Chain A
Amino acid sequence: MLVTALDKKLFRDLMHMRGQAIAIALVIAAGVATLILATGAYSSLDETRRTYYERYRFADIFAQARRAPDYLKEKLSQIPGVSVVETRIVFPVLLDIEGMNAPASGQLISLPRYGAPVLNGLFLRSGRMPDPNRDDEIIVNEPFAKANHFQPGSKLKAILNGRKRELTIVGVALSPEFIYALAPGELVPDDKRFGVLWIPHEAAAGAFDLDGAFNDVSLKLRRDAVAAEVMERVDTLLEPFGGTDAYARKDQQSYAFLNTELTQLEAMAYVIPPIFLAVAAFLLNMTLARIIALEREQIGLLKALGYKRVTIAMHYIKFAGLIAVVGILIGFAGGTWLGRGLTRLYAEFYHFPFLVYLYSFKVYLAAGGISMAAALIGALRAVRDAVNLPPAVAMAAPVPVRYKQTWLSHFALIKRLSQTTRMILRHLIRYPLQSLLTTMGIASSVALLVSSLFTLDSIDFMVDVTYFRTMRQDVSVTFNEIKSLKVVQEMQRLPGVLNAEAGRSVPVTMRNGARSKRLALSALPQGGRIQQLLSKELNPVAVPDTGVALTEKLAEILGVHLGDRIIIEVHYGQRRRLEQPVTAILQGYLGLGAYMALEPMNAALGDGRAASTANLIVDEAKIDQLYAKLKEMPSVSGITLMKKSLQIFRKTLVENMNIMTMVYVVLSSIIAFGVVYNSARIQLSERGRELASLRVLGFTRGEVSQILLGEVAILVALAIPLGWIMGYGLAVEIAQGLDTELFRMPLIVSRATYTQAALVVIAAAIFSALVIKYRIDRLDLIAVLKTRE
């Protein structure tokens, strides 16, 4: 292949300015990589989840009953649209794990009489299935096994229907039903303290007196089935047997949690990276245009030599294109690699048994296309200006740039400035667009940093509101049956308990016209001091004497406002249907909440002075004694430790968010560096002659550097507050993107976040400044003076 002289020039030019070329390529690589890694990780996880659900036959409809006879299974499978039915025995159990003082709980699930589960299949990680003829062999879920270092052969004690039994773990498995395993009443999964236990059918039936009966059913639907119709028929069939409202996947806890997490991930993938890419493309465009503008004389020369405009344009298009191609390729490779790593990290976090990588060709095309277009448009813009000049003009020394006195010059303050300061200010004012674009570029990287870092602030705030201002109890106890209110005194007498308050929690469906939501309706004692409700403005409010208090998000889902009336279908006891006014709207960041005062609730349910939960304030020093007592109480089915819950909540969210946030922070730092370095570097090329002249006049290196770096400093100083404002705007967008049923992101941006964002950019600026200073120190004074501009 013939390499033309022009091509050689191209390669040599690129080699000559490789530092700058690399910095530009990295900016575009960061933009491209962000989009690819985020969308790639999201779509891979989404696809993995989908495949997992499909391969392991995750059910579509779920329902519980108190005691349904086995023959009902046949009837359930005859419901039109149902393809598979699986009935099980499911019970909450308290666990006693050796070496762990804190109480643990579990969900005991029966395995089919013969073979493996047809729905909600198990992926056996180690060990074997239990022997159906033994009543002490179990399989546990992997996260629980890992957290407690259980292996096949390990033993644990469980209280089954009031009797303590020793069980042997024979296998460890994963289930699509428990990607997130959450204890009742917990806000976040605690793998150490909550396990899923699969036990042979006969053993479960024996322990819970359910021979020939079941209390849990899962259904798989045909593709053409209408879920709502099926659920209605299921409800009709189960109702005589204490059935509660059937629900679909969206109300299944693990599904809902994972869905929330993936929605957040999706928001982070589709809100932030496009901004990265846009910023990178903008910088690419701006930088290339300025670099090519510096080539004016060479463009004039090429024209004088008889090169056609098209040839010249192609030359610079290749120049810009090559830099962009390198950046895009680095971005593709880096994005794919980081995306895979990220997917693997998340997969581990979610306990997926396998991974499906899914990378959309479209995303690569979009990221590459946008970057390339930005590069070429920037190049063409600059080439067009230069090509339009007659060669003689392009090659001649440009007329000195026109500066004018502005009204600013007449200020006494300005008159006192040194000549070098005037140079800085006049240059900034003379090129307002250039100054503005550079400022915008730097501001964008500050904004990217703010928008990446603020999520951690919001989590901190959420933790504070949720755990320190709302749920102020140390321990929450759930009973396996309705207790009389005397249970409070009973709790007060337990060792270490400083204060106790009764509460209730009943499963309900709230309806407002066509809108409905399944959730737990909680009752709190009037005048209670432990759990504190907060208004939308986060002011403490008392439990309303009448009606229900809803969290803002729930009210939004149901489409109700203060004073509206809602229907509450109780899936418990006499299964009453209540109508209540909404008497308060509350703030709540975690989950959906609905609250009533205890007495009106008991009256509405018609079962006397009853309680099903208790909140305790505990003396930390006596906590182990309390744990020991609680573990021995047969009526206790769940114990939530708020401190533990808090730790895990933080860990879970911070881990989840941190991975992505760290990636974003690194990439936005690269962009910050790329912008500052390039703008200073281009300035140096544009003004090298001026600076060399000063050196000749006897200015020291330091004094000369000050002029260029002073200008960079001013731009950075202007960009930082602007970037803060832009970053806050992005944070608003992201917080909205992260708003889901289970999790609302308060918009909190701390000073530390603003400071950190500024510091990263300042560090990038200082680093760039050092590189530039090195260059200034080595200006060739003679060469600069001998040539024309």
Chain B
Amino acid sequence: MTRVVFQTESITKVYDTGAVPVHALRGVTLQLFAGEIAVLLGPSGSGKSTLLNILGGLDVASSGKVIFEGSDLSAMDEGALTEYRRHHIGFVFQFYNLIPSLTARENVALVTEIADNPMHPEEALDLVGLKERMDHFPAEMSGGEQQRVAIARAVAKRPKVLLCDEPTGALDSKTGIQVIEALITVNVELGTTTAIITHNAPIKDIAQRVIYFHDGQIVRVAENEHRLAPSELDW
């Protein structure tokens, strides 16, 4: 394995909103390497989303360190975190979160307009196989297409890291596979470090590494010796 992109050191996250503090993360130490695809697998509430949010600068750890290419995210203020998200991180969510009033191309342009070294929106959409549909509004697209627009939007700024939270969660298996294919294409073409959260076990077979979560902790990290192509998946 090569360069480390992310390095977390015993991070914890405690939600102190109710009467009983909820320990979402109980000391997670993890590395993500440049260009790899890692799948984070675990039941709901095991802390994988919390970790992803912290890595993406949407949330901050209660304790521990999160080092991204040498800088500590836990020391950053809101403005710095916004800058960090703007330039380095791409997000893909379960519910796509596209802007309904913008076409596919414009949804991608939304990001390329504020990025430093972006692709052309058309290029990004081509990458996910949607060049023909770029002038359609979200309401005119299927769920799978919408998710692929979301991926195009996430990668168009050439982020270092792509964080995907249940990207196939709202899709049937056929369109889900198309989405996974798009993620792999991006990973191969751009070498983007990709972390995918899922509780859909078969997806783990496409990853280089599978990180198993349980109760706020990493219980096991497995390396896939034999990766499957998305078309070979079945769920």
Footprint of B on A, CB under 8 Å? 397, 399-405, 418-420, 422-423, 426-427, 430, 689-690, 693-701, 703, 781-782, 785-786, 788-789
Contact = CB atoms under 8 A, between A and B. Distances in A.
Contacts of A430: 101
B110 A788 contact: no
A788 B169 CA distance: 12
B109 A419 contact: yes
A698 B110 contact: no
Contacts of B18: none
Nearest to B84: A698
B139 A697 contact: no
A9 to B, nearest CB: 19
B219 interface: no
B188 interface: no
Contact of A696 (B83, B87, B97): B97
A402 B139 contact: yes
A400 B97 contact: no
A216 to B, nearest CB: 80
A567 to B, nearest CB: 75
B86 A698 contact: yes
A418 B103 CA distance: 13
B111 interface: yes
B101 A699 contact: no
A155 B98 CA distance: 88
A420 B139 contact: no
A399 B113 CA distance: 27
A223 to B, nearest CB: 73
B100 to A, nearest CB: 4
Given A423-B99, A693-B99, A788-B95, 12 more contacts: A403-B137, A403-B139, A404-B137, A419-B99, A419-B110, A419-B113, A422-B101, A422-B106, A689-B97, A696-B97, A698-B87, A698-B114
Contacts of A402: 100, 137, 139-140
Interface string B87-101: 101010101011111
A427 B110 CA distance: 16
A261 to B, nearest CB: 56
B7 interface: no
Given A397-B95, A403-B137, A697 B113 contact: no
A697 B100 contact: no
A697 B103 CA distance: 17
Interface in B62-113: 78-79, 82-87, 89, 91, 93, 95, 97-103, 106-107, 109-111, 113
B126 interface: no
| Most chain B beta-carbon contacts within 10 A, residue among A404, A699, A701 | A699
B85 A700 contact: no
Contacts of A701: 78, 82
A222 to B, nearest CB: 78
Interface of B: 49, 53, 56, 58-59, 78-79, 82-87, 89, 91, 93, 95, 97-103, 106-107, 109-111, 113-114, 135, 137-140, 146, 153, 165
A421 to B, nearest CB: 11
B58 A782 contact: yes
Contacts of B100: 400-403, 690
Contacts of A419: 99, 102, 106-107, 109-110, 113
Contacts of B99: 419, 423, 690, 693-694
A698 B53 contact: no
Contacts of B109: 419
A699 B82 CA distance: 7
A782 B59 contact: yes
A74 to B, nearest CB: 92
A696 B58 CA distance: 7
Nearest to A697: B111
Contacts of A422: 101-102, 106
B110 A786 contact: no
B49 A786 contact: yes
A694 B137 contact: no
Contact of B101 (A426, A786, A788): A426
B139 A400 contact: yes
A423 B110 CA distance: 10
19 contacts: A399-B139, A400-B100, A400-B146, A403-B137, A405-B103, A419-B99, A419-B106, A419-B109, A423-B102, A690-B100, A693-B97, A696-B56, A696-B85, A697-B110, A698-B83, A701-B82, A782-B59, A785-B95, A785-B97
A788 B93 CA distance: 11
The 5 A-B residue pairs whose C-beta atoms are closest, nearest first, are A698-B86, A426-B101, A693-B97, A698-B85, A402-B139
| Most chain B beta-carbon contacts within 10 A, residue among A404, A422, A696, A789 | A696
A695 B103 CA distance: 19
A782 B163 CA distance: 14
A403 B101 contact: yes
A693 B59 CA distance: 14
Nearest to A419: B110
Nearest to B95: A788
B82 A700 contact: yes
A757 to B, nearest CB: 32
Nearest to A418: B113
B137 A697 contact: no
Contacts of A405: 103, 135
A690 B84 CA distance: 20
Contacts of A423: 99, 101-102
| Most chain B beta-carbon contacts within 10 A, residue among A689, A690, A698, A781 | A698
B49 A781 contact: no
Contacts of B84: 698
Nearest to A781: B58
| Most chain A beta-carbon contacts within 10 A, residue among B84, B93, B100 | B100
